[in-house]
Amino acid sequence: MNMDWIWGLVGGLMIGSAAALYLLVNGRIMGASGILGGLVDGSGRETAAERGAFIAGLVAIPALAAPFWGTADTHITGNFVVIVAAGLLVGIGTRLANGCTSGHGVCGISRLSLRGMVATVFYLLAGGIVMVLFRHILGVI
Amino acid sequence: MRNLFAFLSGGLFGAGLLVSGMVNTQKVQGWLDVFGDWDPTLAFVLGGAILPMAIAWRVAARRRFSALNTPMPPAPDPRLGHNLVIGSVLFGMGWGLAGLCPGPAMASISFGGAGGIVFLLAMMAGMLAAPTVRSRIDRLAAA
Full DSSP string of A1-61 = ---HHHHHHHHHHHHHHHHHHHHHTT-----HHHHHHHHHSSTTGGGHHHHHHHHHHHHHH
With beta carbons under 8 A apart, name residues in chain B contacting A86: 93-95, 97-98, 100, 119, 122
With beta carbons under 8 A apart, name residues in chain B contacting A7: 19-21, 41
Question: What pLDDT does residue B45 have?
Answer: 98
Asked if B126 reaches chain A (Cβ–Cβ under 8 Å), the answer is: yes
The alpha carbon of residue A70 is apart from the nearest alpha carbon of chain B, in Å, by 11
The alpha carbon of residue A13 is apart from the nearest alpha carbon of chain B, in Å, by 5
Check if the beta carbon of residue B48 is closer than 8 Å to that of residue A102: no
Per-residue b or e along A47-75, where b marks 16 or more CB atoms closer than 10 Å to that residue's CB: beebbbbbbbbbbbbbbebbeeeeebbbe
A108 burial via Cβ count (<10 Å: 0-12, 13-18, 19+)? buried
Is residue A129 within a helix (H) or strand (E), and if so which, with residue range?
helix A114-130
Check if the beta carbon of residue A127 is closer than 8 Å to that of residue B93: yes
With beta carbons under 8 A apart, name residues in chain A contacting B89: 93, 122-123, 125-126
pLDDT per residue, tens digit, chain A (141 aa), is 478 999 999 999 999 999 999 999 999 999 999 999 999 999 999 999 999 999 999 999 999 999 998 778 999 999 999 999 999 999 999 999 999 999 999 999 999 999 999 999 999 999 999 999 999 999 998
Mutate to test the interface with B, among A35, A55, A75, A96 (most CBs of B within 10 A): A96
The alpha carbon of residue B127 is apart from the nearest alpha carbon of chain A, in Å, by 5
Write out pLDDT tens, residues B89-100: 999 999 999 999
What SS3 class is residue B83?
A: helix
User: Which amino acid appears at position B102 of this protein?
Assistant: P
Per-residue confidence at B113, pLDDT binned at 50, 70, 90?
Answer: very high
Write out pLDDT tens, residues B4-38: 999 999 999 999 999 999 999 999 999 999 999 99
With beta carbons under 8 A apart, name residues in chain A contacting B128: 40-41, 91
In sequence order, the β-bridge partners of residue B25 are none
Asked if A45 reaches chain B (Cβ–Cβ under 8 Å), the answer is: no
Q: Across residues B69-85, what is the average pLDDT?
A: 94
CB contact under 8 A, A36 and B102: yes
CB contact under 8 A, A115 and B78: yes
